[in-house]
Structure 1
Amino acid sequence: MPLRRVRPSAVVLLLFPLLSCGCATVGGSPSADRAAPGRELSASELRAAAVADNDLGPGYAVTVMTAGHGDTGAGAGREAADVPACQPLLDVVAPGASVGTAPGTASTSPGVDRPYAETDLSVARAADPKGGVYGGLIGYRAGRAAVLQGELEQLFGPCASFGSAAPAPPAEKPGKKAPIRTRHRLNREDTPTPEGADAAIGFTLTNESGGAVLTQRAVLARVGTALAVFTTFGVAAEPAAVPDERIVRQQVAKLRAAQAAKG
């Protein structure tokens, strides 16, 4: 399935990147002053923890996604990996695929392995009109975010190349809704762990189906019980850029502060 621009009505990003430490690059040793675990935030607190224009400064415009606008329901149009073990990679960058409810809301019965709440946003920058960053804040029950991080860490080898299929768009004529098949390549990118995060990881996922090679660049930071995912999009001629460090840094700081505050 073509790498898609995040739908304004459903954006998730929940697991793609992670790893270990307050080090300069992926795979370093654990930081001695790693932040203390944060408390679980409610769905409304998670939404309130999303960065705003004034957190980023002049030239930035943040849009927090509104649930229900154009959504077709939990899991609708979900892209399925040919290799089941690689599914978390698609879910983490596939808007709205994991919580089981509309973005920006809480799941009534998410289960221990599923996120219980999610807030999605997009950030535009006047100086770079084509360089939008899409973000997702995903809340997990205590301990699950770290477990998920460890699981994702093991996928860079087995999922270096894999395929997927997704339902055809609803606009297709009846009888012609053949699944859309896509070939992906996954590459890990050295990524510093932002101050305040417990871990971070970066990667590039390509879509090599069709005439153009599309790219999706992701950075995922684990902050206490939540994951914050940031993605950008590009093509072979103009590969996806590294998500704006200021956005990542400010979002991590705001999420950590929210977890440290008394509920």
Structure 2
Amino acid sequence: MRCLVSGGNVTVIGRAIHALSRIGDECYLEAMVDGLALRTVNSSRSAYACFLFSPLFFQKYDPRVPGDREESETQVEPFRCKIVMKSILAVFKSPASLEKTVEKCKFAVGRDADQLVIQLQCKYGITKTHNLSFQDCETLQAVYTKEACPNTLRAQPKLLTDTVMHFPSTLEEVTLDIHSRKVTFRNYIEPDSDPKKTMLTEIVLTPLEFDDFCVQEEAEITFCLKELRGLLGFAEASGLPLSVHFNGPGR
């Protein structure tokens, strides 16, 4: 497997890895004909994330390992491996620094090798080579159907970023309460909490603030805020709108 990333796309890869690190402790890498997938799942397997970079994202992309060179690309067996998140995160420490100093990034691995080689070609002729140990693994894929969700929200990332910034960074969970005429974000409070010692923060958004607002079933769901912050950081830096699909709690 060999692929070459150049220009600003190196920073995009770095931001994707930073977003994944907010969710799981391991990065699952899969090189397929359709592109390179970076995935992770949290320890309780309640949150999953995937970034799929198509072959057009790369300057050069070859999912085959050396022994597969004679095979056609449509018959290539996907290369899969699992890497400790801290290891790959150390390669892409700062997206801002990547944008200023790194010109190209190369991923490579051989069939008999037990290491993933990530090479950063920097300005002034500097090359940084990282050899990361990995483990073989099965494909990691969540099962979900967006079309089955009765509620859909679509918004620019800044709207949600400005919303969650009002909550402390130490807050673990946030509750989303959605009705036909408003959306409320508030910090989750345990039912047996002392109201005199607990601070409740609520932010209310109207349907007009969203690009798309479709509510068929009113719902109240609670989820991890850390994972949402990681996604918002990537989306805002990339200028990508967010679509949220959901139904009732526990689904």
When the two structures are superposed, what TM-score results if normalisation uses the length of structure 2? Answer: 0.23
Q: Which has the higher contact order (CA 8 A, sep 6+)?
A: 1
Larger Rg: 2
Query: Which structure has the highest strand share of the two?
Result: 2
Query: Which structure has the highest helix share of the two?
Result: 2
